[in-house]
Structure 1
Amino acid sequence: MQRRLSAPIAALACLLLAACATRPPTATDTATFIVVRHAEKVDASRDPDLSAAGQARARALAARLGALPLAAAYATEFKRTGQTVSPTAQARGLAITAYAAGEPAAALAVRLRAAHPRGTVLVAGHSNTVPDIVAALCRCAVAPMPDHEYDRLSTIRIGADGQPRLLVERYGAANPPPATTP
């Protein structure tokens, strides 16, 4: 009789061991996209550098993200976006991947999701592109970004269930007040 019981017990033990071998989803099983606008620029020319305030904001971004492991950093072809993510990328030994500022947000979102199904990715854009990029990644409505807003940090986490979740926070110094015209 004991031999008959040992076979079902052995089968049950194998099933339990197999169940233990599969692990529950973890943070590394999710994709996270952190999207920011470039920091403050020195002037309104076509391709300006960051101002002193912008450089401070870029450093604040690196500090805000701390030791968070990043899989990649993306910036448009303009200096100000690359300069915004540079302190963060350099701290992690990452090259910055360029993307075209004029690339449709939906196409960029598809490309980012395909290239990075897990891990955390930093993306820098512009006031007229960031809301569309965030909306395409989270599949949700996103508020427009006024020209004076530089401190919005949008985090889109795509859970193991495939559902995106958006968290909007602020980082660095508060936004400067909007410019007024006399």
Structure 2
Amino acid sequence: MKHITRRSMLVLAGASLAACSRVSQLTGHSLAPNTRLIIYRHGDRDGEDLNALGMARSEAIAAALDGLPIDVIYSPGIQRNLDTAAPLAQARGMEITRADPATIGRRISRLSAGRSVVWVGNQGNIRDIWEALGLENPAPLEYGNLYIVTTDGAGTVIIERRQVDVD
């Protein structure tokens, strides 16, 4: 009886893994179920630094995300990205976790699995994330674009596009 139970458990475990793979293939993305990935490009800039509009948009992100849970805020160590993420981190009483932009496209699905995470980045690393996850175009590359990518328990993706504008 124990042998049958163990074998049944192995068969069920294998079926579970296969089902997870099919969900990912059917939905065409690689985000884990029950995940929220919030993607925002750094604020408008002049040269390397945020300009007045970029600073104002950065302040407005906290209000735009009010009511959404956030587990962690990721950003590369580029100052304009950190400056953009800072008002949200301050409003939430959180730290900004620096992540290597060169590998983030491959790592973000693992880092965000089952969590609600924010990525504040640049055009290049946002495009890498978008492509690595197999999400529909266009990626949020314009200033003020705020995309909230959510997967439900079945792995179905919902992409909410918001624009962060200031008066």
TM-score, normalised by the number of residues in structure 2 = 0.71
Q: Which has the higher helix share?
A: 2
Match for 2:39 among 35, 40, 60?
Answer: 35
* Equivalent in the alignment of 1:89: 89
* Equivalent in the alignment of 1:113: 112
* Equivalent in the alignment of 1:153: 146
1:153–1:57 distance in 2 versus 1, CA, 3 Å: same
SS class of match (2:85): helix
Q: Structure 1 residue 160: deviation in Å?
A: 0.8
Q: In structure 2, what residue type is equivalent to 1:140?
A: L
Cα distance in 2 for partners of 1:52, 1:36 equals: 17
Runs of 4+ in 1 over 4 A off after TM superposition: none
Percent identical among aligned pairs is 30
Kindly indicate whether structure 1 or structure 2 has the higher relative contact order, using CA contacts under 8 Å at least 6 residues apart.
Answer: 2
Q: In structure 2, what residue type is equivalent to 1:110?
A: S
Cα distance in 1 for partners of 2:77, 2:163 equals: 25
SS class of match (1:55): helix
1:63–1:158 distance in 2 versus 1, CA, 3 Å: same
TM-score, normalised by the number of residues in structure 1 = 0.66
Runs of 5+ unmatched residues, structure 1: 1-28, 175-182
Aligned residues: 135
Q: Structure 1 residue 74: deviation in Å?
A: 0.6
Cα distance in 1 for partners of 2:59, 2:132 equals: 27
Please provide the CA RMSD for this pair.
2.2
Matched, 1:164 2:163: no
Cα distance in 2 for partners of 1:64, 1:127 equals: 21
1:126–1:85 distance in 2 versus 1, CA, 3 Å: same
For the 8 Å contact 2:36–2:112, the answer to whether it is kept is no
Cα distance in 1 for partners of 2:88, 2:58 equals: 8
For the 8 Å contact 1:151–1:173, the answer to whether it is kept is no
Matched, 1:57 2:57: yes
Matched, 1:133 2:126: no
Cα distance in 1 for partners of 2:104, 2:66 equals: 30
Runs of 5+ unmatched residues, structure 2: 1-32
Determine which structure has more spread, i.e. the larger CA radius of gyration: 1
SS class of match (2:101): coil
Cα distance in 1 for partners of 2:123, 2:110 equals: 21
For the 8 Å contact 1:132–1:142, the answer to whether it is kept is no
1:40–1:113 distance in 2 versus 1, CA, 3 Å: same
For the 8 Å contact 1:30–1:160, the answer to whether it is kept is yes
